[in-house]
Homo-oligomer: A and B are copies of this chain.
């Protein structure tokens, strides 16, 4: 009977304990940076004391776009399940709110402490949101099959490993990955896929009737899709260097996404046996007799993922559109052919198909990044070479080929970290102490949320409002 009070005690306890720990650590470790501290701002400036030069004005609009992607984009993208809308948006909200705090600490720790303190400002806010994005990608794989307590535990481990992997890539290997094809998408996807593999549920078909979408749940999901699609240029460009890199990244992403959208519509109709398009209908996670259909909304986003590394480079709109086209194609084919295979043969139950939206396009993005970096030259970039590849790039030691090789190594490291981390985390999540939902009650809000009544009063209410009634009532 102890399990009866599962949510009543476990979720509150873990939330309160985690938040208290966070508050204490913030109290001990976190300080305002030069742009947010009242005393430090403008103090260290030798010449100009222009308040307009605060990085706030150059990063904050990007931050807000990223923030919308994290909370509205990811949250609503997952509302397609007919009875899991509250949990999709609500748990997305909960684990994002936790992860961004935890990420601030973990990233601050690895990105370099200042006299034992972590300095925070709008850039750390963007980075924390980025890290949160990876956790939400993994959430997509286990959506509907995990309790909020499990999700919080997953976030603790994933954020930590994300920060370590990011540190290895950016600080040790000196990789470029402004839009996170590797650090965010590849990492988040393969971490999540490994977790869901470990948590494999052989009897998930018992919840099958609930794992489909309905008309309006698909429209809510489309809100998520469109917001992710629109703001992806901001996402990829949010932490590039100022000037041409930021501007170029946004534009490359814009063209990649547009091209990807046409590819997605084309292949979505092509692989469907009736030639119909498909919105977001659920992948069949339990059987092969439900046709695995392509997903307009998810695949149309793959173009953003696939230019996450090369977007800041001189990829050209031409190159971006080719990458976007490939990404959309791969993603649609993945939903059609690979996801059923992964489920039936490899026992990977990927609720949202994150392998198709984040996994394969992420790898594609990493490869495109490595290739684009390996052909970079002073001839093409001029002085901009440093703005893209760092200050080392003007030294004679620097070679584009080496750079490209390090980009490729980074992909390998990321895959290794993600799979190993996902394995360990999955095993930890398998412990029977988190109140995971039974196979018969996956994808069901009612397990966690006080459910509102049905719309039974609809007809009755409507008839009340006839003209005559109103007339009588108000006289």
**Would you call A398 an interface residue if the criterion is a C-beta within 8 Å of the partner chain's C-beta atoms?**
no
Is residue A391 within 8 Å, beta carbon to beta carbon, of the partner chain?
no
Q: Are A52 and B53 in contact (CB under 8 A)?
A: yes
Asked if B4 and A471 make an inter-chain contact with CB atoms under 8 angstroms apart, the answer reads yes
Across-interface contacts of A61 in B (CB, < 8 A)? 60-61, 64
| A263 CB, min distance to chain B CBs, angstroms | 6
Distance (whole angstroms) from the CB of A94 to the closest CB of chain B: 5
- What is the CB-to-nearest-CB distance from A135 to chain B, in angstroms, rounded to a whole number? 14
Q: How many angstroms between the C-alpha atoms of A467 and B457 in the bound complex?
A: 23
Q: A293 interface residue, CB < 8 Å from B?
A: yes
- For A41, A247, A250, which residue has the most chain B Cβ atoms within 10 angstroms? A247
Main secondary structure of the interface of A (DSSP, over half): helix
Smallest CB separation, A340 vs chain B (Å)? 16
Known: A263-B15, A446-B462. A6 touches B212 (CB 8 A): no
Assess whether A5 is interfacial by the CB under 8 Å rule: yes
The answer to whether A23 and B210 touch across the interface, beta carbons within 8 angstroms, is no
* In the complex, chain B residues whose CB is within 8 Å of the CB of A210: 457, 461
**Interface residue? A42 (CB, 8 A):** yes
In the complex with contacts A12-B270, A94-B265, A266-B19, A58-B57 CB distance below 8 A:
yes
Q: Which residues of B contact A359 (CB under 8 A)?
A: none
In the complex, the answer to whether A250 meets B56 with C-beta atoms within 8 Å is: yes
Point out which of A55, A257, A474 has the most chain B C-beta atoms below 10 A from its C-beta. A474
Asked if B125 contacts A251 (CB within 8 A), the reply is yes
CB-CB under 8 A from A5, the residues of chain B are: 275
A392 within 8 A of B: no
With CB as the reference atom, state the residue of chain B lying closest to A245: B38
Are B85 and A30 in contact, CB atoms less than 8 angstroms apart?
no
A230 pairs with B317, CB closer than 8 A: no
Whether B26 pairs with A321 at a CB distance below 8 angstroms is yes
Which one of B148, B242, B251, B384 lies within 8 Å of A122 (CB-CB)?
A: B251
Our pick among B42, B226, B465 for the contact of A447 (Cβ within 8 Å) is B465
> A7 near B461 (CB under 8 angstroms)?
no
Q: Which B residues are in CB contact (< 8 Å) with A170? A: none
Known: A22-B259, A89-B226, A451-B215. A7 touches B300 (CB 8 A): no
Jot down 7 A-B pairs with beta carbons below 8 A, ordered by A.
Answer: A52-B243, A83-B461, A85-B215, A94-B262, A214-B453, A215-B454, A451-B462
Task: List the 8 closest A-B pairs by CB distance, nearest first.
Answer: A446-B465, A8-B275, A38-B384, A51-B243, A39-B382, A15-B266, A41-B244, A7-B275
